[in-house]
Structure 1
Amino acid sequence: MRIAFVYSTKDQGLVNITKYMIALFEKSGHTVKAIEVENLSSPISFRPFDLVMVGATITSFFGGKISQEVVKFLQGANGMEGKKSVAYVKSALFGTDKALRRLMGHMESRGAFVVDFEAIKGQKEAEELVKRHL
């Protein structure tokens, strides 16, 4: 399976969780492409991928806002139509559910088929999320 991980590098906790999940997929023999939204200059096409995992940082406690870099990246993304995708955020004290809903809304507006979502606190939740998609 070919998997794309789209994530923001502004939160080191989210980066660590994402790299852990990437390692788990690669250990299982899958091909993984890591896409850091801050380091891109041109849009990416998701047509060659079987699964798209999108991770965002929660930027406000009560509003449930997510990182603008991820939002802008998704607006310019190609080939998301009908793609199986998974939304995840690093769990926060407040606003986690609202942030997940916003992220899924942005993904679905690009035509993605969100099959799973998770608020990840640590490696245990990350491992469970990966196991559901192996």
Structure 2
Amino acid sequence: MRAALIYSGKSKKLELFVKKLFSVIEKKGNELKVIKAERGMMAGNLLPYDLVFIGCSVISFFKGELPSELVDYIKKCVGLEKKKTIAFIIPSLIGNDKTLKNLMALLESKGSFVIDFKQIKEIDKDSELLASRLT
């Protein structure tokens, strides 16, 4: 299966999780394209992918704001309509639930189906769990 992972944030834990998830998915014989959403990036075409992982770090405690780079990238993306997606966040002390809800709402506004969502607390265990959704 082919999957894409779109993420944004400057957290070291986020970077570690992305590397671990990539490793686990590739080890199982699947293909994963990793896309770090950055300012001014051209929007991608997600039609060729069976599943899309989308995640970020929590950046605000109360409002549940998403990184602007991620929001801009998702809004410009083609092929998220009727696509299965998995939303994940790297939690902070507070603001986790609101951030995750906002991320899922953004994906659903683009017409995708959020089939799973997760706050990443244990990198190894959670990467195995999310990778298992690819089968």
Give the TM-score category using the shorter length.
over 0.9
Given that residues 47 and 80 in structure 1 are in contact (C-alpha distance below 8 angstroms), is that contact kept between their aligned partners in structure 2? yes
The answer on 1:25 being equivalent to 2:25 is yes
Give the TM-score of the pair, scaled to structure 2: 0.92
Deviating more after overlay: 58-67 vs 28-37? 58-67
Given that residues 6 and 34 in structure 1 are in contact (C-alpha distance below 8 angstroms), is that contact kept between their aligned partners in structure 2? yes
Identity of aligned residues (%): 37
SS of residue in 2 equivalent to 1:5: strand
Residue 53 of structure 1 is matched in structure 2 by 53
Residue 122 of structure 2 is matched in structure 1 by 122
Cα distance in 2 between the residues matched to 1:34 and 1:2: 11
Given that residues 65 and 102 in structure 1 are in contact (C-alpha distance below 8 angstroms), is that contact kept between their aligned partners in structure 2? yes
Residue 100 of structure 2 is matched in structure 1 by 100
Deviation digits for residues 15-59 of structure 1, max 9, x if unmatched? 111110111000000011000111763110100000000011211
Given that residues 83 and 113 in structure 1 are in contact (C-alpha distance below 8 angstroms), is that contact kept between their aligned partners in structure 2? yes
Cα distance in 2 between the residues matched to 1:133 and 1:120: 17
Cα distance in 1 between the residues matched to 2:63 and 2:38: 23
Query: What amino acid sits opposite 1:92 in the alignment?
Result: S
Deviant stretches of 4+, over 4 Å: none
Number of equivalenced pairs:
134
Give the TM-score of the pair, scaled to structure 1: 0.93
Given that residues 45 and 77 in structure 1 are in contact (C-alpha distance below 8 angstroms), is that contact kept between their aligned partners in structure 2? yes
SS of residue in 2 equivalent to 1:98: helix
Structure 2: give runs of 5+ residues left out of the alignment. Answer: none
Structure 1: give runs of 5+ residues left out of the alignment. Answer: none
The answer on 1:13 being equivalent to 2:33 is no
Deviation digits for residues 50-104 of structure 1, max 9, x if unmatched? 0000011211112222211111111101010000000000122111111000000
RMSD across aligned C-alpha pairs, in angstroms?
Answer: 1.4
Given that residues 90 and 120 in structure 2 are in contact (C-alpha distance below 8 angstroms), is that contact kept between their aligned partners in structure 1? yes
Query: What amino acid sits opposite 2:86 in the alignment?
Result: V
Evaluate the alpha carbon distance shift between residue 5 and residue 112 of structure 1 in structure 2; reply closer, same or farther with a 3 A threshold: same
SS of residue in 2 equivalent to 1:14: helix
